[in-house]
Amino acid sequence: MKAISIISLIVLVLSVLQITSALTLAELTTQINARGGRVIPQSDVNFNNARFGYNYRYNNIPTVIVQTSDVESVQLTLEYAQTNALKVSVKSGGHSSIAEGVQSNRVVIDLSQMKQISYDNVSRVVSTQSGNKWVEFYNFSINQHGVATPGGSCPSVSIGGLTLGGGANDLATVYGLATDNLVEAQVVLANRSIVTASEQINSDLFWALRGAGHGGFGIVTQFKFKVYPVEPTYYSSWITYNWSDFEKVLTKVNDFSQTMPNTINLYFTTWRSKDAANPSVALSCFFNGPSTQGEQYCGQFRSFDGVLPTNFTVTYQSYYDTVRTGTDPKARQSYTKGSFLTEINKQVIRRIKTNMEASPLTPFSFNTARLNLYWQGGAVLDKPRNYTSYVHRTYPWNAVFLSSFVGSEFDETYNKWITKTYKQMGTFSEGVYQNYPDDTLENWADEYYMENYPTLKVIKAKYDPTNYFSFQQSIPIAQNTY
């Protein structure tokens, strides 16, 4: 009996050792390579290219970067990290303004090479892995099938990060946010299990992912979207004005937005580059309908209140080409701060004008201070604030201030300008769009999620009870809930 007990003890110890033995980097590399992925250690010549996003103000150095090829590769990478007592960060397209997807001393799970995509013509649903960029999504959905869904407007922004935080482009005013059109997600949880989230399965997780998916609930590896037939071409105008007409132009834009149909989307921008005597100002007017009808709406900006544009360019092209030819953020150092304007009145317009006129002057054309006003009205706002975890459904104008520069000697100047500007606009603002995260926010959870935040903490405790997916702005666990 004593011999049997000893043997049993030995078997138990060996089984425990087997369960808890760490997966080595060499073993991980062999298995990831076999699945068509890639492991990029710090010694790899491609390491720097893989770790940087567009904001070079962040110089994070992860332990290793793993470019996964499928959901099993994500599980393997989680196993490697967890059995070696390491945390992970998750990157899709690297578009985070605070480089959230690549964090120092962590294993980066890089989903950018996961690009499988398919279309079900019966259900009108496109299934895509997280690594596809929106321009790749539209190349498939529009050019091959004549359908689309709201998504990103920058060519390089990817499916994963944008959808989980909301996601709006010209199509959103008619169809809602990208996250509103998500019908199912495949998620790898911290315990390495794969679950489905939808209205029918794990519906609480599904609610949380649609707007707070950056908060650390799990790793979303596949998305399924409702899609809609699109026009072969769309009308879009790009209009520039003299700075002396700034107040009249923004007043007209705001007044027009109060009664325009949902088929219109507006984007207003003002910027100063280098040492320009005055900032520039421009408006994009997009019509989501037959392209021949766009002029009757956007043409109203050709002449009003004694104002004439300096340029009025009309483009007729497919929506794929609209995104393909869009502008990506430049690979520079940058600051981003934003909020939703509660109104645009004379005081707000003058405050914006004064702040832009106070923007920095530098010797270099690639140094820029900018304000972007994104219209996020129409179908984005026709749902309750708790329809999903995306809460910003009251005010349509999303105001985003940006500063972009090269050279650390300009850091303090641009940081002071954007910080002061953002503070002065606070009186007229509410909330912060979580797809423009700001790591200097003291009350970031209230700004991103507002009244939906307590529920998110409860859901976090259910699906990540050990809080493994934790980082500076991850959602914490509500205590004693499950």
Q: Are 103 and 114 in contact (CB under 8 A)?
A: no
The CATH number of domain 234-444, selected from 3.90.1170.50, 3.30.200.20, 3.40.50.1820, 3.40.462.20: 3.40.462.20
**Would you state the pLDDT for residue 6?**
43
CA-CA distance, 181 to 183, in Å (whole number)?
A: 6
Q: What is the CATH number of domain 21-110?
A: 3.30.43.10
Which residues, in sequence order, are CB contacts of 134 under 8 Å at separation 6+? 151, 152, 153, 154, 155, 157, 158, 159, 162, 169, 323
Q: Are 475 and 460 in contact (CB under 8 A)?
A: yes
Burial class (CB in 10 A: 0-12, 13-18, 19+), 144: exposed
Assigned fold of 117-230+451-463: 3.30.465
**Would you state the pLDDT for residue 480?**
54
Burial class (CB in 10 A: 0-12, 13-18, 19+), 396: buried
- 397's tokens: 């104008």
The candidate with the shortest Cα–Cα distance to 249, out of 284, 203, 287, 294, is: 284
**Would you state the pLDDT for residue 2?**
42
**Would you state the pLDDT for residue 18?**
40
pTM for this predicted structure: 0.94
Q: Which helix (H) or strand (E) holds 282?
A: strand 280-287
CA-CA distance, 314 to 25, in Å (whole number)?
A: 54
Q: Are 310 and 240 in contact (CB under 8 A)?
A: yes
CA-CA distance, 410 to 470, in Å (whole number)?
A: 32
DSSP annotation string for 293-313:
GTHHHHGGGSSBTTB--SEEE
* Strand-pair partners of 280: 271
**Would you state the pLDDT for residue 331?**
87
**Would you state the pLDDT for residue 478?**
86
Please state, for a pLDDT cut of 70, what percent of the chain lies above it. Answer: 95
Burial class (CB in 10 A: 0-12, 13-18, 19+), 462: middle
Residue ranges of the chain with per-residue pLDDT less than 50 = 1-19, 481-482
- 336's tokens: 């981003």
Residue in this structure with the two tokens 């770790």, named with its chain if needed: 51
Amino acid at 109: I
Domain boundaries, the chain: 21-110, 117-230+451-463, 234-444
**Would you state the pLDDT for residue 91?**
97
Which residues, in sequence order, are CB contacts of 251 under 8 Å at separation 6+? 346, 349
CA-CA distance, 384 to 394, in Å (whole number)?
A: 9
Rounded to the nearest 10 degrees, how much is the dihedral formed by the CA atoms of 14, 15, 21, 27? 100
Q: Are 448 and 432 in contact (CB under 8 A)?
A: yes
**Would you state the pLDDT for residue 66?**
98
What is the pairing mode between strands 311-317 and 234-241?
Answer: antiparallel
Buried residues in 358-391 as b, exposed as e (16+ CB within 10 A): ebbebeeeebbbbbbbbbbbbbbbeeeeebbbbb
